[in-house]
Amino acid sequence: MHTVLDDLIDLLRLERIEDNIFRGDSRDIGSAQVFGGQVLGQALSAAQHTVEDRVAHSLHAYFLRRGDMNAPIIYEVDRARDGGSFSTRRVVAIQHGRPIFNLAASFQTPEPGLNHQASKPEVPGPEGLKDLGDVAREHLDKLPEKLRRFMTEKRPFEFRPVEPVSLGIPDPQPPVKHVWIKAVEALPDDLALHQNLLAYVSDFELLGTSTLPHGLPFGQGRVIMASLDHALWFHREFRIDEWLLYAMDSPNASGARGFARGQLFDEDGTLVASTAQEGLIRVIDEPRATRTDPRLQV
């Protein structure tokens, strides 16, 4: 198995300390704090460890504090309810004695029912599109060091954007984005694992859709972005090691917050999941602001 993907799977498995308490580590992917998708995937994994014979169908989460990449994260699971068909779990992620994240997840015993879905957007397929890392390597001389590392280091997923990518100061664009996503290697037939990995990767790209109409200068250190909350609904079974189209749009930005929605389709057009996220977006005047600047605080 690809070592980067294998490392991510190990990261999501967690160490069980007690029946309802788990411990996870972090990986530095070049972001300013622990990557939100990592905590999302780990919290879902912790909840899954306390549920049997039921499948996650939705989760709702809030990011409360920046995560410390150099300290373990403790996940405490509250088995809120086990009903006849549904189970609910609440998860709190803790570092240095304080909560940094909380999540509510719902699980259901699979059953048949009504069935309809939205149509997949008419966009080019993944074949022939460039991976995001390859696009970044073509413009290395234009990227600051930290962004260069974030864009070009090995990833456990391929990202093939449909629309052209600008890594300088982009022209304003409609708040719509389409990216094909797939794990870099084949994975076991384990739906819970595929859901954990989708939760992880669903935090990439989404909030950035809210910035597209504004032509923000990301490479100049003047844009502060942080996820505030995240919702994810699993509609149907899927495989994250097969191509999924992440179709995103942002209907609103206001009050230093951006709101974005996403739908994930397989290549056959089946809608497998939906997402929604609101995040902090601040543009500061000077690129050399420090962490003591109150505008950097979430």
Residues noted as catalytic: 203, 227, 277
* Best CA proximity match to 101, nearest among 14, 36, 185: 36
Beta strands in 9-151 (DSSP E): 15-18, 21-24, 55-63, 73-82, 86-95, 98-108
Torsion 20-9-37-263 (CA) sign: negative
Roughly how many angstroms between the first and final C-alpha of the chain, as a whole number? 38
Q: Which two tokens stand for residue 93?
A: 């992620």
Residues with Cβ within 8 Å of 122's Cβ and at least 6 positions away in sequence, in order, are none
Round to whole Å and give the CA distance between 203 and 38. Answer: 9
DSSP 32: S
- Decide if 287 contacts 145 (C-beta within 8 A): no
